[in-house]
Structure 1
Amino acid sequence: MMILLSSILFQNPGFFQQLGDRINEGGPLAMSLILISFFIIIFLVVRAAINVTAAGHKFRKNISLINQLALIALVIGLFTQFIGLIQIFDAFESLDNVNPAMFAAGLKVSLLAPLFGGFTFLFGRISSFILNWIRKSDLDANTTNTY
């Protein structure tokens, strides 16, 4: 039983190994930029959560930066996909007989950056929505208590 379990664990790469493989497969430059955007968005979300009761301009600045970085990550992903599709079509244009499996593999690679950029965009936008919602309810609670 233990041998079976250890063989299964060593055969399947871990989450971070698979993530690293996908980042490498999707284009290291674009995927690294999207990953850096994702980490900065996480930092800004934490900072905005800490400043949820602070002055309005600090909170709004954090939310604005989150939204802008999320959009940049999405645009980087889509731009990378367009470049990848152009490269795929150029490569297949030079071939006489195109293998469908090779074409599918090229399309899969071209979809990795927009998928990761879209995930980063959704994470940033949902986070800013939740933070605005928390702030709004917090401000509403404070204004009703002052009367």
Structure 2
Amino acid sequence: MFKYFYEGGPLFMGMLSIVFLAILVLVVLTVISKDEDRFIKKSTYIKSLGLFAFVLGMLGQFIGLFDAFKAIESGMDISPALLAGGLRVSSITSIYGMIIFIVAYLLWFALDIMHKRNS
């Protein structure tokens, strides 16, 4: 797991991990919240942070691809294996962002069901 964290780049993987921790904290705060208005606001923030993680992961991949294309453009002799490895590494942040988005959306969905049952 830590291997992928460092391969994906500590900057974007770290930011995505912070967003994921914020989502988990919001889930806990939403569950213990007794006020209905705050419950709805916090549950909306969970979904929004999940979407932010998805976009941030895609941004990390695009920046990695931009650097790779810049190296190819400079006239370096790039083997297909090296190019495939670079594409694999650049997609780590987007996969991590997608996983965070899916988890956040599932948590939001579970909170929404819980809220409807308690109402």
* TM interval, short-chain normalised: over 0.9
> Max radius of gyration: which structure?
1
Cα distance between partner residues in 1 of 2:79 and 2:4: 23
Secondary structure of the 2:64 match is helix
Choose the corresponding residue for 2:56, options 56, 73, 76. 76
Structure 2 stretches lacking a partner, 5+ long: none
Match of 1:33 among 15, 19, 28: 15
Amino acid paired to 2:61 = Q
| Alpha-carbon distance in structure 2 between the residues aligned to 1:137 and 1:64 | 18
1:55 counterpart = 2:31 = no
Give CA-to-partner distance per residue, 1:69-95, whole Å, 9 cap, x none: 111111111111111111111112224
Change in CA separation of 1:107 and 1:46 when aligned onto 2, cut-off 3 Å: same
Of 95-104 and 68-77, deviating more is 95-104
2:94 matched residue in structure 1: 114
* Offset, 1:103: 0.5
| Bigger relative contact order, structure 1 or 2 (CA pairs below 8 A, ≥6 apart) | 2
Alignment of 1:130 onto 2:110: yes
**Map of 2:25 onto structure 1:** 43
RMSD between aligned alpha carbons? 1.3
Give the drift of 1:98. 2.2
Secondary structure at 1:57's aligned position in 2? helix
Q: How many Å separate the matches in 2 of 1:123 and 1:112?
A: 17
Q: Aligned letter for 1:28?
A: P
Distance 2:45 2:76 in 1: 48
Q: How many residue pairs end up in the alignment?
A: 119
Distance change (3 Å), C-alpha of 1:50 and 1:86: same
| Matches of 2:90 and 2:16, distance apart in 1 | 15
Deviation sequence 1:118-145 (CA, Å, 0-9, x none): 1111111110011001110121xxxxxx
